[in-house]
Amino acid sequence: MVKAMEAEDVFIPEEFDEEQIMIAETCRDFLDSEVMPNIDRLESHEEGLPRSLLDKAGELGLLGISIPEEYEGFGQSFVTSMLASEVTGSAYSFAVIFSCHTGIGTLPILFYGNEQQKKKYLPKLATGEYIGAYCLTEPNAGSDANAGKTQATLSEDGKYYILNGQKMWITNSGFADVFIVYAKIDNDRVLSAFIVERDYPGIKFNPEEKKMGIKGSSTRQIFFENCKVPVENLLWSRGKGFRIALDILHMGRIKLGGNVIGAAKMAIEQSVNYANDRKQFGQLISSFGSIKYKLAEQVIRTFANESAVYRASRNVDEYIAAKENEMTREEATVKAFEEYAIEAAILKVYGSEALDYVVDEGVQIHGGMGYSSEMPIERGYRDSRINRIFEGTNEINRLITIDTIIKRGRKHEYDLLGKGQEVIDSLKELNGCGCCEEDYYENKKATVENLKKAGLMVMKAAFDEFSRKLVNEQEILNNLSNIIMDIYVAESVLLRVKKKEDTGQDVMTHKDILDVLLYDTASLVRKEAIDAINSFTEGSQQELFAKGVEYFTCVKPVNVKEARRRIADMLIEENKYCF
C-alpha cells in the first residue's frame, strides 16, 4: 500500500525457463493420460484408484517437486511448485488429492521435522510410497482452529503420547499412510502437532463423506481412541502446533491461488469451445455481445489472478534466497510464508472468487446443457465452491489481510498511519481529477498510486475513530480489505503488461485487459471507500472524505464495451485460452 513497484522488479509467467516449462508439460501429459480419462471412476471412489494415480505421479517425480534432493525430491523453486499447482489445478478432485499430499500432508515434516523424522518420512512421501494427510479441523473447531479438543497425554512409561479426540473433513483420509495431527497436551492452551501413522492402534475411520463437489476426494471423520503415538513423533516441540498450522495455512492459501488458475483456464476453454459450436437465432452464440462480455470477463479475472500469483511466488523465492545465509532453507521458507501472509490471503480470496465467477458464467454460456452432468462445466461449477472455504474461509482471510497490515503498521514496518495522515492533510487542496497524465503507463501508475491513497486515507480515518476497537467493526475491515486486494491485483497486472512490452512482446490485447480491470477497480475502490466513511463520519468531515475518494478514484474514460469485445474476439479466434 505504501511502496511503489517497478515492472523490472516483478516476475511474470512469460519468464518461465525451459526446465519449468518441461515440468509443466510433464504434469499436463500425466493428467491427460492418467487422470482425466478416469475422473468418473475417481468420483465413484473406486478402491485403489487414487493411490494408483499418486503412485504414477510419484514415479514421474511430481510428488517431490518441493522436497530437497537429499530426501529423494527435486528441490525446485517455489515458483516451479506453483506452476505445477496451476497445471494440476485443472484436474477436478485429483487436484485436491495431489495438493493435500504435496502440501499440507508433507511440508510440516519438511519445515518442522527433525533430521530423524525427515529421513524416515520425506523420501517415502516424495516417491508416493507414503501418502500424507492433515488433521486440524474438528466439529467445533473450524476457523477457530485452536479451539480443538483432541487431547494428548504422556503414557506412564514416557514412551508414547496417548491421543483421544475427533477430526473431520480430512482429505485423503481413506488411503493416507501418514497424518499430521493437532492436539493439546494435558491442559495446554495451544496445540501441538504429531506425526501419526495409519496402522497405529486406536484409530478409527468413518465412511466417506458425501459432498456437493470434489466428490473424488476422500474425506472422512477420524476418531482417536487411546491412540499410542511414539514420543519421537512430536513435531518441532510442545505447544508449537498452532504456529505450524498457521504457517502451513499461509502456504496452502497461496498454493490455492495457483490451483484455481488451472481450473479457470480449463473452464474458459470449455466456455469458448461451446460458444463457438452452439448456434441460436441462426448464428454462433460467440457472436453475441452478451456472451463476449462473459468470455472477456472470465479472461480478465484469470489473467489478473495469474499476474498476482506469480508476482508473489517470486517474492517468496527471493526472500528465501536472501535469508539462506542466516538460516536453513526450510527455516527461510517458513519465514517467507510469514512475510508474505498478506499476499497469500489476498490470492486465496481473489483467486477463489475469480474461479467462482468463471465457472458460474461458464454454466450460463452453456445454457441448459451447463446444468447437465454430461458437460464438464457442471463438475467444475460444483468443485469450485469449496475453494472459498478451504484454507480458512474468505471471511477469515479478509480479516487476516487487514489485521496483519494494521499490526505491521503499528510496529512501524510500514508508515501506514503517517502516509494516511499526509493524504488527509492534502484533502482541502484537491480539485478536479486525480489522474491526468497523458503517457499510457504513467497514467496507469498514477491511477494505482491514487487508489492506494484512497485506501490509506480511509484506513487512517477509521483508526482515528475506533483505535483498537476497530477489530469489532468487521464491515469496515472488509471494506478496507477489499480495497487492498483489488489494488494489489490491479498493480500486478499493470506491472506484468508493462514488463511484457518492455521486453518487446505484443501487448495490444493485454492493454485492453489492464484498461478494463483498472477502470473497474477504481469503481470498486470508490464504493468500498464511500461505504466505509459513511459508516463512521457525518457532516463536513464526511463531505471532505467523500471529496477525497472521488478525487483519488477518478480515471480516464474507457470504452469497456469495445475493449472487452477485442479480448473476447482473440479468445474466440484461438478457441482456447491464449493470454
Helix (H) or strand (E) holding 285, with range, is none
323: Cβ–Cβ under 8 A, 6 or more apart, which residues? 331, 332, 335, 336
Strands 219-230 and 283-284: unpaired
Both ends of the chain: CA-CA distance in Å?
A: 27
271 touches 365 (CB < 8 A)? yes
CA distance 528 to 398: 14
203 touches 261 (CB < 8 A)? no
378 touches 371 (CB < 8 A)? yes
In the numeric block, which cell numbers belong to residue 244?
505450524
**Location of C-alpha cell 478494463:** 516
Helical spans, DSSP H, in 103-215: 107-112, 115-127
Q: What residues are paired with 151 via a beta bridge?
A: 164, 184
Q: What residues are paired with 222 via a beta bridge?
A: 167, 205
CA distance 401 to 481: 6
Helices 93-102 and 78-88 pack at an angle, to 10 degrees, of 160
Count of CB atoms within 10 A of residue 88's CB? 27
In the numeric block, which cell numbers belong to residue 39?
475422473
CA distance 238 to 236: 7
Whether residue 72 lies in the annotated active site: no
Nearest to 58 by CA among 115, 101, 29: 101
CA distance 565 to 86: 27
Q: What residues are paired with 166 via a beta bridge?
A: 223
**Distance (Å) of CA 262 to CA 27, 233, 305:** 12, 36, 11
DSSP secondary structure letter of residue 91: S
172 touches 101 (CB < 8 A)? yes
181 touches 132 (CB < 8 A)? no
Count of CB atoms within 10 A of residue 134's CB? 29
Nearest to 249 by CA among 191, 162, 174: 191
Q: How many residues does the chain have?
A: 579
Query: Which residue pairs from 540-546 have beta carbons closer than 8 angstroms and sit at least 24 positions apart in sequence?
Result: 544/427, 544/428, 545/427, 545/457, 545/458, 545/461
CA distance 256 to 248: 12
Residue in 353, 378, 391, 491 annotated catalytic: 391
List active site positions.
391
